Amino acid sequence: MTQRKPLIAGNWKMNKTCAEAMDTARTLVSLVSDVKDVEVMITPPFTALAQVADIIASTPVELGAQDVFWEDHGAYTGQVSAPMLVSAGCTYVIIGHSERRQYFNETDQTVNKKVKAAFAGGLAPVVCVGETEADRDAQKTFSVLDKQMDNGLEGLTVEIMANAVIAYEPVWAIGTGKTATPLQVQEVHAFLRSFLKQRFGDGIAGQIRILYGGSVKPGNAAELMALADVDGALVGGASLDAEIFSKIVHFGKA
């Protein structure tokens, strides 16, 4: 079986001034200095990326952004491109988070353009997919996920996909305190893995990490991370506090 190094990623969303972000990053670096078998990544807001990059330089903590635009430069007021994110120190970028789909008209088609731009710029995309509560109640979970994966990953080659990360985030579990049950999570992750196998072949599908996101906390991290097809977590609220996030990085054991 392929060994996939778990990735625990913190999505800070629209939180923290530059000073607060630097402070949290400093505390986190000291709290996770013992961690070897887990990759740790944080996504501060754009405004704090470069300063946080300085703090985590020469530490194992990695930097990601929360979004990217698909053009490299030009008259696109308010947008930030992949080369800009790389120049600020990012190696990852979250794409297609449900909040962007819900509030900022993100579609599977814009997700696809952004994923291609991320790869072209040298960033590893963390591609978010997930069903709403209404989808789940209507037994549409798998058809919704299939469509998001099919359109979002359209036109991508096997070679390039080796660096992709998928995040399964049931919309009904984000910021609600409701966590999907281990059975629900493993069922969906296995479905996503089999989608990747069919599309990109067993080898790459076995390498791609599939993260779970949705009210992950120190108390449920170990159980979720033990599931066969769960390769880490995308953590929102609980990543804002370095001590709580560090407990998740340690799978609730420290």
The minimum distance between CB 178 and ligand PEP, in angstroms, equals 9
Percentage helix, strand, coil for the chain under 3-state DSSP, each rounded to 5:
45, 15, 35
Query: CB-wise, 44 or 214, nearer to ligand PEP?
Result: 214
Least distance from C-beta 234 to ligand PEP, angstroms?
5
Give the nearer residue to ligand PEP in terms of CB position, either 244 or 254.
244
Does 154 participate in catalysis according to the annotation? no
Which H or E run contains 212?
Answer: strand 209-213
- What is the closest distance, in whole angstroms, from the C-beta atom of residue 176 to ligand PEP in the complex? 7
Taking the complex as a whole, the smallest distance from the CB of residue 159 to ligand PEP amounts, in Å, to 28
**Catalytic residue from among 99, 131, 169, 189:** 169
Q: Is 160 helix (H, G, I), strand (E, B) or coil?
A: helix
Catalytic residue from among 39, 62, 97, 106: 97
Any idea what DSSP says for residue 81? B
8 A C-beta contact, residue 111 and residue 127: yes
Distance separating alpha carbons of residues 254 and 237, to the nearest angstrom = 19
Query: Is residue 169 annotated as part of the catalytic site, yes or no?
Result: yes
CA of residue 31 relative to chain centroid, distance: 21
Name the site residues for ligand PEP (rule: CB under 6 A).
11, 169, 174-175, 213-216, 234-238
Q: Identify which of residues 7 and 174 has a Cβ nearer to ligand PEP in the complex.
A: 174
Phi and psi torsions of 93, nearest 5°: -145, 135
- Beta-carbon-side half-sphere exposure of residue 83 (alpha carbons within 13 Å): 4
Query: Which has the closest alpha carbon to 237: 216, 220, 222?
Result: 216
Q: How far is CA 159 from CA 79, 100, 163, 226, in A?
A: 28, 28, 9, 28
Would you say 196 or 235 has its CB closer to ligand PEP? 235
Work out how close the CB of 99 gets to ligand PEP at its nearest, in angstroms, rounded to a whole number.
7
Pair 168, 188: CB distance under 8 Å: yes
Q: What is the largest CA-CA distance in the chain?
A: 49
Nearer to ligand PEP, 171 or 208 (CB): 171
The set of catalytic residues is 97, 169
